[in-house]
A and B are shown apart, each in its own frame.
Chain A
Amino acid sequence: MTAPAELSVASIDEHRDDEAQARFDDLIAKDSRIEPRDWMPDAYRKTLIRQISQHAHSEIIGMQPESNWISRAPSLKRKAILMAKVQDEAGHGLYLYSAAQTLGIGREEMMQQLIEGRARYSSIFNYTTPTWADMGAIGWLVDGAAICNQVPLCRASYGPYGRAMVRICKEESFHQRQGFEILLELMQGTDEQKRMAQDAVDRWYWPSLMMFGPPDDESPNSAQSMAWNIKRFSNDELRQRFVGMLVPQAEVLGVTLPDPNLTWNEERQAYDMSEIDWDEFHEVLAGRGPANAERLRRRREAHEDGAWVREAAAEYARKQAAKAATAA
């Protein structure tokens, strides 16, 4: 006797889902925003959780290559700047964890996924920073590529993600400029300093181009992300745009971009460039980059070393609340 009733409940649910799907599709078609409590397809939610948490992890792991240089920065001014930048990255990680959290996943869970090696972060942070010039190259190239990627994300269809990105982009422009300035100062210095700057550019140029992800024909999720208005431009479009911005900037710096085939194509109105070494990209992505193990080990240690602080603060809050309750 219960079967028909169950059937009808199921069909009502299905009807409701169809209606909700139609409302969702309509909002996307109008280029409006989806907000946390709106109905959304499971795949949209999962894609966003994956993308936003990976982005948050990248910011958190991204603190490491630079914090490496805080104690050795060449002046008090540079030290203060670097600290501010690393603090911004922690902040960006937290904005993004909060945005992801509105989709129904806790920060603790995301952090656990990261330290257990179950979550990805941008492979750029698995490269090492052996010289001071790397701080310049990271700011100019890595943060530059990040900005290029992130500016269109300010218009991502998921409201909390777009809002977090607006805040992040505002802060990132200081990161890129300070990097450019570090390189410029080195390029106006001694021959040894010039060599150091060029060497850093040589090492970071290709990895920064890889930050835009695989070529369009090998990026299976891109089409769906673009249909959902999460992604606004393809990987190759953004990469091309970035290279177009770099060339004149490299001229100002007086550095050479390490690609002999980099030439202006009048017909395409864009730069032609060499094929990217995607084997290297996949190796680093697979965990075999220069510093993958070290980055995760450091993150895990920091998390475990901080456990007593988190517990003590929670316990203090609990006791204070209990005291207040008895007093009342």
Chain B
Amino acid sequence: MSTPGETGTEAWPLWEVFVRANRGLSHVHVGSLHAPDADMAVRNARDLYTRRNEGVSIWVVPADAVTTSDPDAKGAFFESPAGKNYRHAVYYTKSEGVKHL
């Protein structure tokens, strides 16, 4: 299932836009836009999402090329980590008071 929004009927397809705010940070999804092709999508993304130095790098991805998890199966799909709190450091309390642990 792709990201929401692509209707498949518009003259220009929908692109999802990801911006790296600064060196050392990941690209983060900022929104979407319409563009006829990838080059124009990058240019439009620059004009639309980085008018105030919000980014140093941009990714654009056709919305229909994104595969997402099934939103209806949310509970079941993300069930596995539930009840496995031993995956978190706070589960281990016996080391309390011991330094650098």
Q: B11 to nearest A CB, angstroms?
A: 5
Residues of A within 8 A of B72 (CB): 37, 39
CB distance from B65 to the nearest CB of A (A): 14
Are A107's CB and B34's CB within 8 A?
Answer: yes
A38 to B74, CA, bound (A): 10
CB pair B11–A311 under 8 Å, yes or no, is: yes
- In angstroms, Cα B66 to Cα A25, docked, is 29
Complex: chain A residue closest to B54, CB-CB? A167
Give the shortest distance, in Å, between A166 (CB) and chain B (any CB).
11
- Say which residue of B5, B37, B40, B52 sits within 8 Å of A36 (CB atoms): B5
Give Cα A266 to B77, complex, Å.
57
Query: Which residues of A in the span 94-113 have a Cβ within 8 Å of any Cβ on B?
Result: 94-95, 98, 101-108
User: Contacts of A106 on B, CB cut-off 8 Å?
Assistant: 7, 9-10
CB distance from A325 to the nearest CB of B (A): 14
Contacts of A94 in B (CB 8 A): 33, 48
Could you say which of A39, A104, A164, A314 contacts B31, with CB atoms under 8 Å apart?
A: A164
A91 on the interface (CB 8 Å rule)?
Answer: yes
**On chain A, which size bracket covers the interface?**
20 to 34
A36 close to B10 (CB less than 8 A): no
**Majority secondary structure, B binding face:** loop
Is B94 interfacial (CB-CB < 8 Å)? no
Contact with A along B65-83 (1 / 0, CB 8 A): 0001001100000000000
- Assembled-state Cα–Cα distance A311/B47 (Å): 21
Complex: chain A residue closest to B63, CB-CB: A101
CA distance A58 to B9 in the complex (A): 25
Task: Tell me if B11 and A314 are in contact (CB < 8 A).
Answer: yes
Chain A residue contacts of B42, Cβ below 8 A? none
- Does B51 sit within 8 A of A, measured CB to CB? yes
Chain B residue nearest to A20 (CB atoms) is: B72
**Contact partners of B12 in chain A: CB under 8 A:** 310, 313-314
Q: How far is the CB of A92 from chain B (nearest CB, A)?
A: 10
CB of B32 within 8 A of CB of A107, answer no
The smallest C-beta distance from B7 to any residue of chain A, in angstroms, reads 4
Known: A35-B71, A164-B31. 13 other contacts (CB 8 A): A91-B47, A95-B48, A98-B5, A102-B5, A106-B7, A106-B10, A107-B34, A310-B11, A310-B36, A313-B12, A314-B12, A316-B36, A316-B37
- Please give the residue numbers on chain A whose beta carbons come within 8 Å of chain B beta carbons, in ascending order: 35-39, 84, 87-88, 91, 94-95, 98, 101-108, 163-164, 167, 171, 310-311, 313-314, 316-317, 320-321
